[in-house]
């Protein structure tokens, strides 16, 4: 197959879920198929040496084209006066489509995609995430595919439920606007890759003619291994709890604020030495400010997450809003760390509470299970070992890639036979 893959991710430095999911199956697909790539970002940052365990896309793609993400001039005008239109106000008042697609995406992207499709014949043009679809021309001249890393409007509906007054009203409008846009995209494509059966069912209801394949996330258990040679000499710290995630993403911001303010005081009441480390890219000011609280350390972006995972006693994932299957839960388990998480964080995983993970929905439950891992290191280590074995048996990138590859080939065959 020849596939054009359009995305905004830094494939040489994938440090959050969607980018990691965007890298691994496509790197493996490139071993058997011709992959061209259009990256909706400037290449200035991407020219740095690749992160450990990753390869620059230039080494495995046939062609890589970078399109700097220069916002629409109207967006520039809005953001030129931050005092008049602060980010929080824009997030509340502006429609979702205006914020995440039409105003913020470079109009040049549409021209580059069409130019590439007219220059070469592709079996598929795969475009993700959802916001890039504002730059996909109507009557597109090639078969289209899309990976739904999550159903975005589900997250927005969950966010709206937590708001009150006018903010709730506008949040509900944003969710409705996003839902209309997602439905438009689902009904344009020939193939949709979903990460969980729940989200596949939601999409089927709205796009009954689209072919949908469910390919759960995977994990590189050789690289994410507590005994990896890179990690020799790094010792665990008996008092550290860890949270990992993109710290500008609203579900993560909600989770770390809740941990720092509602959970850590209770944990430190029993274990005054306990610390919460927050690791991830682009921490918002409200996240950075959490570092002023006792026992909270905002680490921010790191080139390699594994040393922090190895040092921690347990990883926390108290996701309360959002959708989709989360890479960081699988990564923690692959690193043999006890994972204390909500059902939301474990969506799409067939886990057993107490054997593979520790389920905790409330602050009291999270405090209790955090203290259990801190105070019972041998039992916590055994749980982490079971989690690693389970992940190795059920969640491999090779298996995910095969499912996705077979779906592309099957959809092509179906189209030929019509």
Domain that holds residue 249: 229-394
Asked if residue 224 belongs to a domain, the reply is no
Q: What is the CATH number of the domain that holds 296?
A: 3.40.50.2000
| 315 and 183 inside one domain | no
**Contact residues for 358 (Cβ-Cβ < 8 A; gap 6+):** 314, 338, 339, 340, 341, 369, 372, 373, 383
Q: Is residue 42 part of a domain?
A: yes
In a domain, 418, yes or no: no
Handedness of CA 347, 384, 247, 368 (dihedral sign): positive
Please tell me the number of Cα atoms within 13 Å of 11 on its side-chain side: 24
pLDDT in tens, 56-114: 999 999 999 998 766 566 555 555 554 444 555 555 566 777 666 654 556 788 889 99
Residues 191 and 165 in one domain: yes
Going from the C-alpha of 51 to that of each of 12, 163, 245, 281, 303, the distances in angstroms are 6, 39, 17, 14, 7
Lookup: tokens for 376: 């019972």
Residues 213 and 291 in one domain: no
| Cis amide leading into 129 (omega within 30) | yes
* pLDDT tens, per residue, the chain with 418 residues: 999 999 988 888 887 778 888 899 999 999 999 999 999 876 665 567 788 788 999 999 999 999 876 656 655 555 555 444 455 555 556 677 766 665 455 678 888 999 999 999 999 999 998 888 877 877 888 999 999 988 888 888 888 888 888 888 888 888 899 899 999 999 999 999 998 888 899 999 888 888 899 988 889 999 999 999 999 999 999 999 999 998 988 889 999 999 999 999 999 999 999 999 999 988 999 999 999 999 999 999 998 999 999 999 999 999 887 655 578 899 999 999 999 999 988 887 888 899 999 999 999 999 999 999 999 999 999 999 999 999 998 998 998 899 999 999 998 887 676 6
Same domain for 406 and 371: no
Q: Would residue 339 count as lying in a domain? A: yes
Query: What does pTM read for this prediction?
Result: 0.81
Residue 158: what pLDDT?
A: 82
DSSP 362: S
417 lies in some domain: no
pLDDT computed for residue 84 by the predictor: 47
Q: What is the DSSP string of 228-274?
A: -GGGTTPPP-TTEEEEES-TTSHHHHHHHHHIIIIIHHHHHHH-TT-
Unique residue bearing structure tokens 């200035």:
44
Contact 317, 278 (CB under 8 A): no
Q: Which residue has the tokens 């019972």?
A: 376
Q: 376: which residues sit within 8 A by CB, 6+ positions away?
A: none
Residue 116 shares a structural domain with residue 169: yes
What pLDDT score was predicted for residue 280?
92
Q: Which of 141, 145, 149, 155 is nearest to 125 (CA)?
A: 145
Q: In this structure, are 198 and 264 located in the same domain?
A: no
389 and 403 fall within a common domain: no
Question: What's the domain count of the chain?
Answer: 2
Do 213 and 407 touch, CB atoms closer than 8 A? yes
Please tell me whether residues 76 and 97 are part of one structural domain.
Answer: yes
Q: Are residues 316 and 389 in the same domain?
A: yes
223 in a domain, yes or no? no
Tokens of 62: 């046939």
| pLDDT of 103 | 47
296 in any annotated domain: yes
302-340 pLDDT tens trace? 989 999 999 999 999 998 876 555 788 999 999 999 999
Contact 32, 59 (CB under 8 A): no
Are residues 6 and 143 both part of a single domain?
yes
281 occurs within a structural domain: yes
Q: Tokens 């494939």 correspond to what residue?
A: 11
Q: Which residues contact 265 (CB under 8 A, 6 or more apart)?
A: none
| 402 and 344 belong to one structural domain | no
Residue 257, pLDDT score: 96
Both 210 and 357 in one domain: the answer is no
pLDDT at 364: 97
């Amino acid at each position: 197959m020849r596939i054009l893959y359009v995305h905004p991710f830094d494939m040489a430095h994938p440090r959050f879920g969607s980018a990691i999911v965007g890298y691994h199956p496509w790197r493996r697909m490139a071993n058997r198929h011709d992959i061209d790539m259009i990256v909706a970002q400037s290449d200035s940052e991407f020219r740095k040496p690749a992160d450990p365990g990753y390869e620059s896309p230039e080494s495995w793609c046939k062609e890589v084209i970078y399109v700097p993400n220069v916002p629409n001039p109207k967006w520039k005008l809005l953001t030129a006066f931050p005092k008049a239109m602060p980010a929080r106000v824009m997030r509340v008042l502006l429609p979702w489509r205006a914020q995440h697609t039409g105003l913020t995406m470079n109009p040049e992207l549409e021209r580059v995609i069409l130019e590439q499709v007219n220059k070469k014949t592709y079996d598929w043009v795969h475009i993700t995430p959802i916001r890039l679809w504002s730059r996909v021309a109507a009557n597109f001249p090639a078969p289209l595919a899309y990976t739904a890393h999550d159903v975005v409007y589900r997250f927005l509906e969950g966010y709206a439920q937590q708001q009150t007054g006018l903010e709730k009203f506008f949040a509900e409008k944003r969710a409705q606007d996003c839902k209309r846009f997602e439905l438009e995209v689902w009904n344009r494509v020939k193939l949709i890759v979903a990460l969980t059966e729940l989200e596949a069912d939601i999409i089927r209801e709205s796009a009954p003619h689209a072919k949908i394949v469910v390919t759960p996330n995977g994990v590189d258990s050789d690289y994410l291994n507590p005994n990896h040679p890179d990690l020799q000499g790094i010792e665990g710290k008996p008092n550290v709890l860890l949270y990992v995630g993109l710290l500008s993403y609203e579900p993560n911001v909600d989770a770390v604020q809740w941990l720092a303010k509602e959970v850590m005081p209770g944990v430190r009441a029993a274990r005054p030495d306990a610390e919460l480390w927050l690791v991830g890219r682009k921490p918002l000011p409200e996240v950075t400010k959490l570092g002023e609280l006792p026992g909270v350390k905002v680490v921010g972006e790191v080139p390699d997450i594994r040393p922090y995972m190895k040092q921690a006693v347990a990883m926390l994932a108290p996701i309360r809003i959002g959708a989709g299957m989360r890479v960081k839960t699988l990564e923690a388990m692959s690193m043999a760390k006890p994972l204390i998480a909500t059902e939301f964080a474990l969506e799409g995983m067939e886990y057993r509470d107490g054997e593979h993970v520790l389920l905790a929905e409330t602050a009291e439950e999270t405090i209790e299970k955090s203290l259990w891992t801190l105070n019972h290191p041998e039992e916590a280590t055994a749980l982490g070992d079971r989690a690693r074995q389970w992940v190795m048996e059920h969640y491999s990138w090779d298996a995910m890639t095969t499912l996705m590859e077979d779906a592309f080939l099957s959809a092509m065959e179906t189209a030929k036979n019509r």
